[in-house]
Amino acid sequence: MSISLLFTGLVSFFLLYSFGRGKSDQAAVKLLMDLNEAETIKCNNDSEEPDEEDTESTSVSRKIGKSSNQSYNEGGGSSITPCKKTPEMGAEHTPLTSNTTPARWKSEPVLDSSYSYTDKNPDMKLSSIHTQIEDIDKRGKALFKSKNYIEAAEVYTEALVLIENNKKLNEKKSTINFNRHFLTLTNNRSAMYEKAGLPDLALHDCDAILEIDTMHIKARNRKLRILESLSRHSEALVEVCALQLKFMKENKDNIRMGVPVIPPVPQSKLEELMAHILPKEMEAELAKVEKKYSETERPFPSNYTVSQLLQSFSGYNTWVSAAAKDEPLDFLSVQIKTLGEFENERKIELLFRRGRKYAYHKKFADCKIDILEALFHLEKLKLTKEVVIKSRIDARIWEWAGMFRHLCHDLKGASRCYESCLELEPDNVEILVKLAGVEMDDGNYEDALSYFDKALSFDPTATDALLHRANLFLLQKEPLKAKAELVKCLELRPDYSLARLRLATVLMTTEEVSDAQSCLDLAANIDPQSSEVRSYLGEMYFSRGDFAEARREFELAIKYDPENPTAYFNAALVVINSPPAGGVTPDISEAVHLLEKTIKVDPHFYQAYVHLGQLKLSMAMDLTGAKKVVSLYDKGLGYCRRSEEMKDIVSMKILAIAQVEAASILKMDTFAMQ
């Protein structure tokens, strides 16, 4: 019953985390998360009304508008591109292609010779040029309405050439400025190129507009639309992020106050783009991880993870008792050092006992070294099954070696070790269950089920098999089967607190909340100082919205076992989700600290990377800090064992990169919109 803030889209992300160190108004958050159906991006390219959708008017553009923050001839000059006439390009449904590349227009400008003014009165000459531009614009509109898109583009180019050749006049002090003309005409020409099936030329014009006016909504929407049509989905995602950043910046006060606002891009658009981008990125990230760990061993899990795994088997108490009776570590180490060169069997025995003693003290990394060294010497001896049975060698060596190889995700090596153990003990139920676990981690659910069935055929009362088969049913999304297994397990072993915790999880899934609470209460009575039990209780309170009680339980979980990563993670979620009290916003820095602590005690806790990255991205004071979030996600990916774990981090990495790029093109230097 893990708690997770599911990432519901870029809007939701910025609402939760973008405004300083606090959190937005809860009503606003709920509102925008429910606005998935609101669509403001116009994707229909067949509009026939030139002044409303695809084109703009020049008749009211004698001054620079508020959105023009740069002169059209700054940073690269005007964008005058060619339009080649071909019979088919004027067709209404010509498909978008990318075979044409932008180039400079080489023609001479068209000037009306009836106007003859000197530079002594630039306003008069500019006024005459403005009149010509308006006349040309009207011709373009008429051609647009008659669907002569290529001819319309040529007409708009004619006006742009006129502006290009008179830009020096525009630089002089004058009451008239051509900047808005340039933007409007370039936007209109871009619309014509798009409709004529010339996407590269349309994109070139969009870029020219956005170089001057980064907030030009029509140009950015058109660019998004064309990039999608060309299957350039990663670039399209950057445009979505740019639209969202602009929206958040302009509406931050309304969102804080809970005033209804409609996001510029629907949730469905983001999901659609991610559906195209994610599979390829997942494939690339998996290849990187596989390459890395083909050369080096995978990171070893945290002490807490190993301890929980050991305790999930009934043989736990047996080996703990044996380890408690073993000699101290120092004594065993001295004995190993004094062994002769040919005392291999004795060395194997002592390495195993010292490794078990390390496990007793929860020094699992040291335990792994001793166990695998013992296995190395054992395999060198190449002993027959009969010799091993007669010797002092414990079959548990193969079992423990299998467990450590499994923990390092060496699934084939783990299977070989467990099968060697089964050759000596063919009816060992615990080994069969562990083999099933290997198959589960490898995604072979049917093979895992066969091992469970075999184990239960040897011992129908094997609680290990029932508990872990319930986990398999949960993975297969069959909660009712899982529930039946756990109920039977508890009938056989009523004091099995781990089974009660798993049953509580299943009951929450089936919405049997009161029964889930009863399970947790019984588990708390059995083991009141269990960190795991306290963490589960906290999650129950969290699901009810009782954040104060949830926080108290998570703090107890941390107290009873400071190495429990789930307790820190869930405490961070309480901080993030607690509604503001008395005007005081949640302390996001505390949530960051708790998430960092989660990763410190368990670097494999992949959900912590997802949430920590979101918080750090929103709090980044500059884009350099934002880029560090991508490095954080890369670190998390290095600890993932399965593609399911990688998916959330890869998704957030894709979005983080797109957000940083969007902020760069919008000339923003931070995501903190105070």
Residue 609's closest CA among 652, 555, 576, 644? 652
Give the pLDDT confidence score for residue 554 in this predicted structure: 97
43 has a pLDDT exceeding 90:
no
What contacts 629, CB < 8 A, 6 or more positions away? 613, 616, 617, 620, 656
CA distance 628 to 608: 16
Q: What pLDDT digit, counting tens, does each position of 3-37 carry?
A: 333 233 333 333 333 323 233 334 333 333 333 33
- Report how far residue 404's alpha carbon sits from residue 374's, in angstroms, rounded to the nearest whole number: 13
pLDDT mean across residues, the chain:
81
CATH 1.25.40 residue window(s) in the chain: 42-231
The pLDDT tens digits for 341-355 are: 888 889 999 999 999
DSSP 315-348: THHHHHHHHHHSPPHHHHHHHHHT--TT-HHHHH
State how far the Cα of 373 lies from the Cα of 380, in Å rounded to an integer: 11
Is the pLDDT score of 262 beyond 70?
Answer: yes
- Residue 95's pLDDT is 34
Q: For residue 351, report the phi and psi dihedrals to the nearest 5 degrees.
A: -60, -40
The whole-model pTM stands at: 0.76
Of the candidate CATH numbers 1.10.3470, 3.40.50, 1.10.287, 1.25.40, the domain formed by 42-231 belongs to 1.25.40
Amino acid occupying residue 116: S
| pLDDT of 113 strictly over 60 | no
Q: How confident is the model at residue 172 (pLDDT cuts 50, 70, 90)?
A: low
Band of pLDDT at residue 418, cut at 50, 70 and 90: very high
99 has a pLDDT exceeding 70: no
- Helices 396-407 & 411-424 angle (0-180, nearest 10): 160
- Provide the CB-side half-sphere exposure for 539 (13 A, CA): 25
- The residue that leads in pLDDT, 258 or 48, is 258
pLDDT reported for residue 482: 96
Segment 287-338, tens digit of pLDDT: 988 888 877 888 889 999 999 999 999 899 999 999 999 999 999 999 999 9
Cα distance between residue 492 and residue 303, in whole Å: 29
pLDDT, residue 548, reads 93
Residue type, 600: K
Q: How far apart are CA 554 and CA 235, in angstroms?
A: 42
Query: Residue 206 in 3-state DSSP?
Result: helix
**pLDDT the model gives residue 431:** 96
The alpha carbon of 672 is separated from its chain's Cα centroid by a whole number of angstroms, namely 20
